């Protein structure tokens, strides 16, 4: 299945899996999605990330979702920059999400990073999504 916005598809699959109280979600693999999943794992929104190859030789990401008791850790996600409208921001213009409880993920020249890391290293970039 071809999608015009693979990152939005990734975010939607993860958000829908949390809403359906799933333990594991499968997402088509790409380097950017894998880096995004690892970033979510380091910030505690996902428990584990695993790359698997299925019978038709296509790779998929298997994400084990994180829950706090019976409540999902991820309450919401929003795609910011879209293929038809790219959004860019400088490091000093990045604002905390929900008073620092969430995070904004940016694509920078140094790879994907959170808004906190971007402010610390003084690097701006394309705003990919907000997670809270």
Each of the 132 residues of the chain gets a pLDDT tens digit; together they read: 667 899 999 999 999 999 999 999 999 999 999 999 999 999 999 999 999 998 888 999 999 999 999 999 999 999 999 999 999 999 999 999 988 899 999 999 999 999 999 999 999 999 999 999
Provide the domain count of the chain.
Answer: 2
pTM for this entry: 0.90
Is 17 within the bounds of a domain? yes
- Residues 10, 68 within the same domain: yes
What residues contact 36, with CB distance under 8 A and at least 6 apart?
7, 10, 105, 112, 128
- Residues 11, 67 within the same domain: yes
Is 118 within the bounds of a domain? yes
| Domain span at 89 | 77-131
| CA distance readout (Å), 2 to 5, 16, 74 | 9, 19, 26
Alpha carbons 12 and 27: distance in angstroms, whole number: 10
- How many angstroms from the chain centroid is the CA of residue 123? 19
- Residues 89, 68 within the same domain: no
The CATH number covering residue 118 comes to: 3.30.1490.10
What pLDDT is attached to residue 1? 64
Report helix, strand or coil for 22.
coil
- Residues 67, 18 within the same domain: yes
């Amino acid at each position: 299945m071809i999608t015009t916005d693979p990152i939005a598809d990734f975010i939607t699959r993860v958000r829908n899996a949390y809403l359906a109280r799933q333990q594991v979600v499968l997402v088509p693999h790409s380097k950017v999605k894998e880096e995004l999943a690892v970033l979510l794992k380091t910030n505690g929104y996902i428990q584990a990330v695993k790359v698997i190859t299925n019978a038709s030789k296509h790779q998929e990401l298997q994400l084990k979702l994180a829950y706090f008791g019976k409540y999902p850790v991820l309450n919401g996600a929003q795609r910011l920059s879209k293929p038809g409208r790219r959004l860019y921001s400088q490091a000093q213009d990045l604002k905390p999400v929900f008073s620092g409880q969430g995070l904004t993920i940016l694509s920078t020249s140094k790879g994907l990073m959170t808004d906190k890391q971007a402010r610390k290293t003084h690097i701006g970039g394309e705003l990919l999504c907000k997670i809270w």
